[in-house]
Amino acid sequence: MNSLIRKSVQAMSGYVPGEQPKVPDIVKLNTNENPYLPSPDVQDILSMVDIAVLSRYPDPLCMELRKAIAELHGCGVENVFAGNGSDEVLALCVRAFVERDGAVGYFDPSYSLYPVLADIEDVRKKPVELNASFGWQMPENYAASLFFLTNPNAPTSQKFSKANIGEFVKAFSGVVLIDEAYADFADENCMDFALRYENVLVARTLSKSYSLAGIRLGYCVGNAELIGAMYKIKDSYNVNYLTQEIARVAILDQNTMKANVQAIKETRKMTLEKLSELGFEVCDSQTNFLWVKPLGITAKSLFEALRKKNIIVRYFGNDARTKDYLRITVGTAPEMFKFLDAVEELIRDL
């Protein structure tokens, strides 16, 4: 049977998403979902859907949705690509911008999908290792066809300097995809780079700040030629009708998104302070999660103990760079109080 499967696919490891346990009363803090409801306009648009429309294919170019995104970011529709989650955006970038003898670059640690996408296309990987405090400096004479620059970074939660990113993209000869999945939780972003530099794309998702992980909508903004190349190779109807409509009305309602983001930022601050009081090492977060190194208990032991209390966080134990840390999604205030109470009880019982 193996003879029927490409050797590169046989050799690779697939991406492993965060688990989605179906357990009652669970405190789910492992996949960076938004705990608040999306825009009420989403419910309204769903109630108005004519089911007869579902017998037809959706707009293959997502024009009405792209107009809303273009208006939000002050660009033209030709500068916007809409995809089936930002993961499709990332995958298409590898297919569109990396020759077979090219390479894909990314930070280590960062989003674990990046090396998988390179393996799928059987192209070289050129990770750039972050330093002990998860900062970055490019190696001399570094070159790649495409660089995925996650800002703020996941899983480390920190934002990189916009000035440093600007210097990098000006000097880099390939395409830079700035992955801004968490940008709405940060105090600045690089969206203006997408329209200033010909080799830069900035990707966003509705999964985090818009509370819409379930509809799978991501997009990127950038040079019209790069966007056009992605449209050449996408699936015929890559974004379904319901997703297009839900995403459009959610983007038009910035007030709900910003209110939810503000609530998360306030709860993030409270949780960070409480964990720091316990002596935990907590990285400064510009995301909707915290990157935490426990004190007095290993990350693995705390992960397993919390699980027994029906509290699920994310542990990346298969990597020496991340095995001492936990990634903790910021939930509602009651969820975070329950989490903190459980942590304090576990620490007391050591």
Tell me the C-alpha to C-alpha distance, in Å, between residue 301 and each of 27, 296, 297, 321: 18, 10, 7, 17
Q: What's residue 15's pLDDT?
A: 87
Query: pLDDT band at residue 62, thresholds of 50, 70 and 90?
Result: very high
Tell me the C-alpha to C-alpha distance, in Å, between residue 117 and each of 3, 93, 120, 124: 22, 10, 5, 10
Q: What's residue 209's pLDDT?
A: 98
Please give the Cα distance from 270 to 305 (Å, whole number): 22
Q: What's residue 105's pLDDT?
A: 98
- Tell me: pLDDT of 3 over 90: no
Q: Which helix (H) or strand (E) is 7 found in, with range? A: helix 7-11
Query: pLDDT band at residue 7, thresholds of 50, 70 and 90?
Result: confident
Please give the Cα distance from 90 to 83 (Å, whole number): 10
Average pLDDT over every residue of 144-172:
97
Query: pLDDT band at residue 179, thresholds of 50, 70 and 90?
Result: very high
Average pLDDT over every residue of 279-303:
97
Q: Which residue has the higher pLDDT, 45 or 3?
A: 45
- Tell me: pLDDT of 212 over 80: yes
Q: What's residue 195's pLDDT?
A: 94
Share of the chain above pLDDT 70, in %: 100
- Tell me: pLDDT of 1 over 80: no
Angle at the Cα of 29 from the Cα atoms of 27 and 35, rounded to 5 degrees: 80
Q: What's residue 200's pLDDT?
A: 98
Q: Domains of the chain (ranges plus CATH)?
A: 2-37+255-348 (3.90.1150.10), 40-253 (3.40.640.10)
Are the beta carbons of 225 and 78 closer than 8 angstroms?
A: no
- Tell me: pLDDT of 328 over 80: yes
Average pLDDT over every residue of 272-298:
97
- Tell me: pLDDT of 146 over 90: yes
- Tell me: pLDDT of 30 over 80: yes
Average pLDDT over every residue of 266-279:
97
- Tell me: pLDDT of 350 over 80: no
Query: pLDDT band at residue 138, thresholds of 50, 70 and 90?
Result: very high
DSSP-derived secondary structure for 253-313 = -HHHHHHHHHHHHHHHHHHHHHHHHTT-EEPPPSSSEEEEE-SSS-HHHHHHHHHHTTEE-
Share of the chain above pLDDT 90, in %: 91
0.85 cut: is pTM over it?
A: yes
Average pLDDT over every residue of 90-119:
97
Q: What's residue 329's pLDDT?
A: 98
Least confident of 58-67, 132-141, 199-208: 132-141
Average pLDDT over every residue of 9-27:
88
Q: What integer best gives the mean pLDDT of the chain?
A: 96
Q: What's residue 226's pLDDT?
A: 98
Q: What's residue 18's pLDDT?
A: 85
Largest CA distance in the chain: 61
Here the tokens at position 344 are: 């304090």
What would the pLDDT profile of 183-208 be if each residue is shown by its tens digit? 999 999 999 999 999 999 999 999 99
What would the pLDDT profile of 220-268 be if each residue is shown by its tens digit? 999 999 999 999 999 999 999 999 999 999 999 999 999 999 999 999 9
Average pLDDT over every residue of 54-65:
98
Q: What's residue 19's pLDDT?
A: 86
Edge-first strand order for the sheet with 146-150 is 80-84, 217-222, 200-205, 175-179, 146-150, 103-108, 124-129
